[in-house]
A and B are shown apart, each in its own frame.
Chain A
Amino acid sequence: MGDLDATHLTTRQLNIRIKEMVQRGEEVRILNPQARHNLAVGILLPAKITFEGSVGYFCSSLMDGCEVEIHGNAGWALGDNLMNGKISLTGNAGASAASTIRGGEIFIGGNAGARAGISMKGGTLIINGNAGFVTGFMMQKGTIIVNGDVGEGVGDSMYEGAIYVGGEIGSLGSDAIVEEPSEDDLLWVWGSLERNGITERKPFKKIVSAKRLYQFDSLERHEKRVI
């Protein structure tokens, strides 16, 4: 494993060094990331990257196939548009964690801010603590697991996928409904949590789309004649 001390490197210099090490197949450990934005962005090769400290906005975003550990907190849009791979955060995440991810898994050890999993198109987001308002807004596919509570408007306008909540639900968003999880659902949720070191097996509520927004519900007179 190679260490990179971010203290005296610009973001550009740091990202160049990270990419060079990844291309050589080395594991990378970044010391003193100083909550800087846009670290380890756009890495499209399998790699192991560890941050010893907090990171800023867009950390590990636009990434495919990496395994990332962050020992600290993260700013907005952690793992934005992740294609595949795994991101683990020990602390709290800001707003829009796992925005638009298309695959892979993001684990947040603490709480997540508003709009976690917004426009998710696949993959799994696991939040050990609580999640803020409109979690899973316009979610298209994939799964969100919130071990704690979720805020207002959860699952608002979601298309497909599922949101599992272990704690209290602030309120449901537009077109979101609660349904009974199956035994297989619960086994899958518990297994996903166990993989991330959470062994408590508690009941979960499952939130899905009622699919009432799938089709525009009113047509003009001439449209009714042709459709």
Chain B
Amino acid sequence: MVTGNSQIWSPWTIEDIHTKADLGRYRIRGLSTFQKVTHFDDLTFLSTGLTRFPLEGYKEKCNTSTVIGHRFAEQPLEIETPIYITGMSYGALSKSAKVALGKAAAMVGTATCTGDGGMLAEERQASEKLIYQVLPSRYGLNPHHMATADAIEICVGQGAKPGTGGLLMGVKVLDHIAEMRDLPSGIDQRSPTRHPDWLGPDDLGMKIEQLREATDWRVPIHLKLGACRVKDDVKLAAKAGADAIKIQAYEASTITIDSKKKDFRIKKNNTWAKYNTLFSFL
């Protein structure tokens, strides 16, 4: 491959163009984008002034405990910090990793989330608070498992790939994972992007009511969106009746994604905290 010595285009940009031309499609990869994005070190918290009263740091404690869903849920989700470990599927991650995340979340008093592919018994046991994710694919969705969850999250979009489904490459679709997802082993699994049983925000209101009825209004119903048209999406999600709305920034992905979304997102939407009712990370 000829990358040349362009003073305008970097070698990796030229290599990217060559590869896409060779493939005739966008590139697919997992875990991260090649673009420079906001890092945890860049997080800035708004401090105090006239609208918020400061604490005396040497003698007063900052209480970060958060209660989500007390408006409707009999048992709202109570976590010690407004940061939780977001959904990453058993399949994208191993069983050990899922259990480790559950234990770590429990140690710091927060929650973790099942992700795509259903709930592992070991994950449920390790996690003090476990959020059950309802995704467009519904891989492994089981109402018996849903009944044991501490909250339910309808995933409309992920920060890394809003508006697209996902791929779990065949090397990761091992026998047990395939069995849980009702798929043949070893195939390159495609996840759909649209939910199978509802389309627009009016339907979503009915879907939320369905999940409330299924769980006897016991736990809160969250809604996760990739950060796109945040202002309007949040209005519609709130109107549909979600207890919490999570806006996910575009770094996140454990599953393989198409790189066009990651590399060409408009940066002004990449805001960590501006619209968040709850941080969602990883």
Contacts and interface: CB of A to CB of B under 8 A. Distances in A.
Interface of A: 11-12, 15-16, 19, 37-38, 41-42, 44, 56-58, 61-64, 76-77, 80-81, 83, 96, 99-100, 102, 115, 118-119, 121-122, 137-138, 140-141, 157, 159-160, 213-216, 218, 220-221
B93 interface: no
The 6 A-B pairs with the shortest beta carbon distances in the complex, nearest first, are A42-B214, A121-B182, A77-B197, A62-B143, A100-B138, A41-B213
Nearest to B27: A220
A83 B216 CA distance: 19
A213 B167 CA distance: 12
Nearest to B210: A58
B203 A83 contact: no
A122 B141 CA distance: 12
B164 interface: no
Nearest to B28: A216
Contact of B138 (A41, A81, A216): A81
Given A12-B217, A159-B184, 9 more contacts: A37-B206, A37-B210, A83-B142, A96-B197, A118-B196, A121-B138, A159-B183, A214-B187, A216-B188
A96 B203 CA distance: 12
A64 to B, nearest CB: 6
A16 B213 CA distance: 9
B112 interface: no
Contacts of A96: 196-197
B59 interface: no
24 contacts: A37-B206, A37-B210, A38-B210, A42-B213, A42-B214, A58-B197, A58-B207, A61-B214, A63-B143, A64-B144, A77-B198, A81-B138, A99-B138, A102-B142, A119-B192, A121-B182, A137-B196, A159-B187, A213-B190, A214-B170, A214-B187, A218-B23, A218-B25, A220-B23
Contacts of B75: none
Nearest to B205: A37
B40 to A, nearest CB: 30
A109 B74 CA distance: 39
A83 B118 CA distance: 14
Contacts of A63: 143
A62 B196 contact: no
Interface string B183-203: 110011010100011100001
A214 B217 contact: no
B30 to A, nearest CB: 12
B57 interface: no
Per DSSP, are chain B's interface residues mostly helix, strand or loop, or mixed?
A: loop
Nearest to A80: B197
Given A38-B209, A138-B192, A102 B182 contact: yes
Given A141-B182, A218-B24, A44 B213 contact: no
Interface in B1-60: 1, 19, 22-25, 27-28
B19 A221 contact: yes
B213 A12 contact: yes
Nearest to B191: A138
B143 A64 contact: yes
B215 interface: yes
A11 B209 contact: yes
B146 interface: yes
A96 B184 CA distance: 23
A38 B22 contact: no
Contacts of A119: 137-138, 192, 196
B72 to A, nearest CB: 11
B141 to A, nearest CB: 6
Contact of B183 (A12, A140, A221): A140
B120 interface: no
B214 A62 contact: yes
Nearest to B22: A221
Contact of B197 (A64, A76, A138): A76
Contacts of A100: 138, 141, 196-197
A190 to B, nearest CB: 26
B169 interface: yes
A93 B207 CA distance: 17
Contact of A44 (B23, B144, B203, B207): B144
Contacts of A12: 213, 217
Among A63, A99, A122, find the residue whose CB has the most chain B CB atoms closer than 10 A: A99
Nearest to B137: A119
Interface in B141-199: 141-144, 146-147, 167, 169-170, 181-184, 187-188, 190, 192, 196-198
A118 B188 CA distance: 19
B196 A99 contact: yes
